[in-house]
Amino acid sequence: MTQLRFALAQIDTCVGDLEGNASSVLQFSRMAAAHHADVVVFPEMTLTGYPIEDLALRRTFREAAWNKADQLAGVLRDEGLGNLYVVVGTVGSAQPLAQTSAGERKDEETARGPRDVEDESKAEGKPTNRLVVLHDGVVYAGYDKHFLPNYGVFDEFRIFQSGTRTTILEIGGVRIGFAICEDIWQDGGPVAVLATCGIDVLLTINGSPYEEGKTHTRLELAAKRAAQVGAPLIYVNQVGGQDDLVFDGGTFVVDADGTLLERSPMFMEDLGYFDFDSQARRQKPGKIHELPDPDEEVYTACVLGLSDYMTKNHFTGVTLGLSGGIDSALVAAMAADACGGEHVWGVSMPSMYSSDGSKDDAADLARNIGGHYDVQPIEPLFDAFQGQLNLEGIAAENLQARIRGVIVMAYSNSKGLLALATGNKSELACGYSTIYGDAVGGYAPIKDLLKTRVWELARWRNKATVAGMGIGGLHMVGNESGNRGIEPDGGVIIPVNSIEKAPSAELRPGQKDSDSLPEYAMLDKVLAAYIEKAHGRADLIADGFDERTVDTVMRLVDRAEWKRRQYPLGPKVTALAFGRDRRLPVTSAFAE
């Protein structure tokens, strides 16, 4: 009987931080060794971070990444961890690996020579998305990703070259086959080959971004592949935020029959374990973490995206305009959960059209999160501009928004704060924002949330507070105290009036969003069909939407593409987010 302990190292990496990422590998490898692990598995492109985009094409980056892998192997040996098999991801080159073919059987001592995997960072051609195994002080084995995704947020086919070989590594009599992320999403390829080779475990390292509902899709796919190869499948996924992507972790193991054996928590670093028994007909289940509530899941993804963006870009605080409306209230709550209320600078910028209720709601929100709260009336500045420009209509309304944008950016510049844009996906879709006004900022936490989803998450956050969850109920990376965010003395975080009142930009007397847009309940349904399902005019009418609404929404969305190109980054949480997911021309005459 052979027993092999796999440590599943779900870590948060940063693109380009070779030293920091290697340090995390070393730290988690030490912990794994202390718990008697034989193999430690890290996510896709561990050492380089993921996605590296065009950094992959830079020779100096590839050389530095290779040197770091080589150096890390030596450090592991010098610390007495040379017996571990440490599986990490990095960037390789187009030069073929001298690999053991999938059909060959070799024992663990001779499966890889100590220098079979050479320094190929200077080779010509496209680089590769590579898995390497560090063992006994050297880069011991390697595998290049076969299937390179070129859809949605992925652009790997442009920068990487496909691998051509499969790899099996035998450790203590256990035959381990390797794959990288997309390799298990496509039929054929390395998994189909491995299915003919009698492997004992299929191990896949992943950088799979979060989107709502994807957890169950991954699990179903993994069960299918495990059945295909007739062996347990280990799925180790990255966690953390990288620009506009959020990686949720959720690492898991399924048995050959699809039974869930192990699952790591979502949205936090974790080191789990899977004990493989070669003689067992069915593997023994380990620790299975429960999945969060769907609203908590999406909310936490947005918070993690903001938190990591701040950390990795060296921001310690944020600033935003507090209008008293639902969007700025939700963003402020997320910001407080991400960095602590004391690091949130809220600025109320009332005009002559701001209601007393909105001003009160903004003040209450700031007090609830424990944030800074300044009041900067814009009427004197507006009057100064009007004395020279004498604007009317939309131009005068937009002037108010742009004055507010200047104030927010002034706080950002003077205090070294990250300016947050508070627009939601419905507004962004329809262009219902002022460019260089409320659209200013460095990050937009709710840009991928439709307005109706904003209301739902606001209600969830209040329920979480009333239930006593606070920040401790959220799965936050680096939240050592379990209470880094907001804890009001009582009641709810987001003022109920901010949730229940009719939304308004308050740029003219009696203004409501419904004056310019269909009601959000209807608008969001049309947007979901037009954007995420790519339905054209005929499709939308066939879906049951009336022609007038369809024509209005299509016109608004199509005319706003230029604005979206200039909107700040924000976390992707739906199947199709603006930005990498949806690339349409700004200039287009097609309207069907």
Q: Is 181 a catalytic residue?
A: yes
Cα gap 317→371, rounded to integer Å: 11
68 Ramachandran zone, left/alpha/beta (phi>0; psi -120 to 50)? alpha
Cα gap 410→319, rounded to integer Å: 10
Parallel, antiparallel, or unpaired for β 174-180 and 201-206?
A: parallel
What residue ranges in 407-505 does DSSP mark as E strands?
A: 418-419
Cα gap 310→242, rounded to integer Å: 10
Catalytic residue, from 68, 145, 425, 525: name it.
145
What residue ranges in 77-182 does DSSP mark as E strands?
A: 85-92, 128-135, 138-144, 168-171, 174-180
Cα gap 363→546, rounded to integer Å: 41
Contact 205/233 with Cβ under 8 angstroms?
A: no
Contact 303/332 with Cβ under 8 angstroms?
A: no
| Contacts with 207 (C-beta within 8 Å, 6 or more apart), sequence order | 43, 44, 45, 50, 51, 89, 181, 237, 238, 247
Cα gap 501→495, rounded to integer Å: 10
Catalytic residue, from 68, 120, 181, 312: name it.
181
Amino acid at 458: A
Cα gap 548→564, rounded to integer Å: 24
Which three-class secondary structure state does DSSP give residue 427?
helix
Place of tokens 């230029």: 562
HEC string for 302-359: HHHHHHHHHHHCCCCCEEEECCCCHHHHHHHHHHHHHHCHHHEEEEECCCCCCCHHHH
Enter the DSSP assignment of 532: I
Which three-class secondary structure state does DSSP give residue 74?
helix
Q: Is 44 a catalytic residue?
A: yes
Amino acid at 590: F
Parallel, antiparallel, or unpaired for β 201-206 and 418-419?
A: unpaired
Amino acid at 487: E
Which residues are designated catalytic?
44, 145, 181
